[in-house]
Amino acid sequence: MTTQQRPNILVIMSDDQGSWALGCAGNAEIKTPTLDALAARGTRLSRFFCASPVCSPARASLLTGQIPSRHGVHDYLAGPHAGAQSSDYIAGLPSFTDALADAGYRLGLSGKWHLGASDVPRPSFVHWYALEGGGSPYSHGRMYRDGRPEDVEGYLTDVFADDAIAFVEAEANRPEPFFLALNFTAPHKPFAGQHPAEYTELYRDCVFETCPQEEAHPWQPTVDGIPIGGEADAREALVGYFAAVTAMDAAIGRVLDRLAALGIDDDTLVVFASDNGFNCGHHGIWGKGNGTYPQNMYDESVMVPFIAAHPTLVDEGAVVDDLLSSYDFAATLLDLVGLDPEPFERGPGRSFASVLRGENVTGRPVVVHDEYGPTRMIRTGDRKYVHRHPWGPHEFYDLLADPGERVNLVDVPERAPEIERLRAQMDAWFARHGDAMADGARLPVAGAGQIAPLGADPLGAFTPPNWDGTEQSQRHGGST
């Protein structure tokens, strides 16, 4: 392909959306007509996994194709997000956006960044409109437009979509292709009272059978009796979560309609995914991986939606059940648009472009891995083993007999040989793809935020809470 022949790329990222929260994934209660239509004209992955069940590590892995134990982002970023004290957590690490820029793409970002230094445009970006931190109320936010602060009012989902539309309008007639990252904060909390009535009213009488409110998980931390990932009124939180997804779906529809009106929809590869999953009462949890302590690796936390669509590059109307991961994404995106994926296949990632093209593929890995600090997972098609360094507790699930991950078989003697094989396979994989200086196995990551890059502060980078709203002094800034 020449530069002019390469497709535009629109990558849309939601925030804290479980794979279950899509109409086309079988949820009859949630309304996502735009995404359902996108899946109908493209390919949906039914078992796509994040690399870590929390925002910043997952996003760093999507961009770099590396795991947290190599790129060094192990928790959501809680330190300064702008100004002299902020850090670019992936500075110096090759990302797929660098490769796109080298190939002649013009790069843009509209929405959430949450990888540090939100006020400093990443190299080669011609458009940078980034939220300061990891989230905000939906009614307003502090944004940085090409490095300059803007305090915006209005519904944040629509603010991001409007900016994305302005970007594609400006780029539509240029000879170079564009890449745009449209990163929503939806459906991240806050939930209740945040969304336009036209969306909340859709769910006022919803039964929410897809989100049964189970007995609280024994590992779920609370603040004043409220789950840290939830709100005081669980039903109103469900209304807000579902409304956030539907409002985002409508905003995506406006962006896609604008591509069509500009006559460039057939020339644009569209990808939709989420950074990590989410439990809305599933397993008795409100939250994602850090909805429990120790952190959890339930499928609701680690499995996320993924849809790709393009009239010639992606198979139409397909649903793929292969186990695939976000550390495969960088190589896949480059491969799809005719660029060399090999630089992003030197780690764990492998392009699955052939899967999206509908080709019969053999020999692909049949496992995926996840990590969140000292918590690690290996998952096959029908088994899951979760190991927590150094002392446990560990988990083993037979997903054929127990797809809901209800019965932990880790102490069943008959299962010991199978568990040992999975543990050895997992340990070898992390040893091969990790870096001793960034390895998370011995970091005291409690899911309460990372305040500095690894090694930046000898006193440390992690500040776990006591889960009563106060903070402990335990912190860590390098590997041990």
Strands 318-320 and 306-309 come out as unpaired
Q: Which CATH code for domain 368-433?
A: 3.30.1120.10
The residue among 426, 475, 469, 472 whose CA lies nearest residue 455 is: 475
Q: Whole-angstrom Cα distance, residue 29 to residue 245?
A: 12
Asked if pLDDT for residue 114 goes beyond 80, the answer is: yes
List pLDDT tens digits, range 26-70: 999 999 999 999 999 999 999 999 999 999 999 999 999 999 999
List pLDDT tens digits, range 277-288: 999 999 999 999
List pLDDT tens digits, range 364-407: 778 999 999 999 999 999 999 999 999 999 999 999 999 999 99
List pLDDT tens digits, range 201-238: 999 999 999 999 999 999 999 999 999 999 999 999 99
pLDDT of amino acid 364: 72
pLDDT of amino acid 457: 54
Asked whether the beta carbons of 117 and 87 are under 8 A apart, the reply is yes
Strands (E) in 230-283, as ranges, are: 268-274, 279-280
Residue type, 173: N
- Residue 410 DSSP class: T
pTM: 0.94
Q: Please compute the mean of the pLDDT values over residues 169-188 and round it to a whole number.
A: 97
Q: Tell me the Cα Rg of the chain.
A: 21
Domain limits, CATH 3.40.720.10, in the chain: 3-356
pLDDT of amino acid 179: 98
Angle between helices 329-336 and 55-64 (to 10 degrees): 40
- What are the DSSP calls for 369-383, one per residue? EEEETTEEEEE-SSE
- What are the DSSP calls for 290-341, one per residue? GGSSS----HHHHEE-EEEE-TTTS-SSEEE---EEGGGHHHHHHHHTT---
The residue among 184, 217, 181 whose CA lies nearest residue 96 is: 181
Q: Whole-angstrom Cα distance, residue 191 to residue 196?
A: 12
Q: Tell me the C-alpha to C-alpha distance, in Å, between residue 385 and each of 100, 325, 367, 408.
A: 36, 17, 11, 10
| Range with the poorest average pLDDT among 242-246, 392-396, 452-456 | 452-456
Strands 178-183 and 106-111 come out as parallel
Q: Whole-angstrom Cα distance, residue 13 to residue 302?
A: 15
* Degrees to nearest 5, angle at CA 73 with 71 and 79: 140
Q: Please compute the mean of the pLDDT values over residues 117-143 and round it to a whole number.
A: 96
The share of the chain scoring above pLDDT 70, in percent, equals: 94
Specify the DSSP element, H or E, that contains 71.
Answer: helix 68-71
Domain limits, CATH 3.30.1120.10, in the chain: 368-433
Which of 3.40.720.10, 3.30.70.2860, 3.30.43.10, 3.30.565.10 is the CATH number of 3-356?
3.40.720.10
The residue among 183, 295, 276, 297 whose CA lies nearest residue 228 is: 295
The tokens of 191 are what? 């939930």
Q: Whole-angstrom Cα distance, residue 184 to residue 55?
A: 12
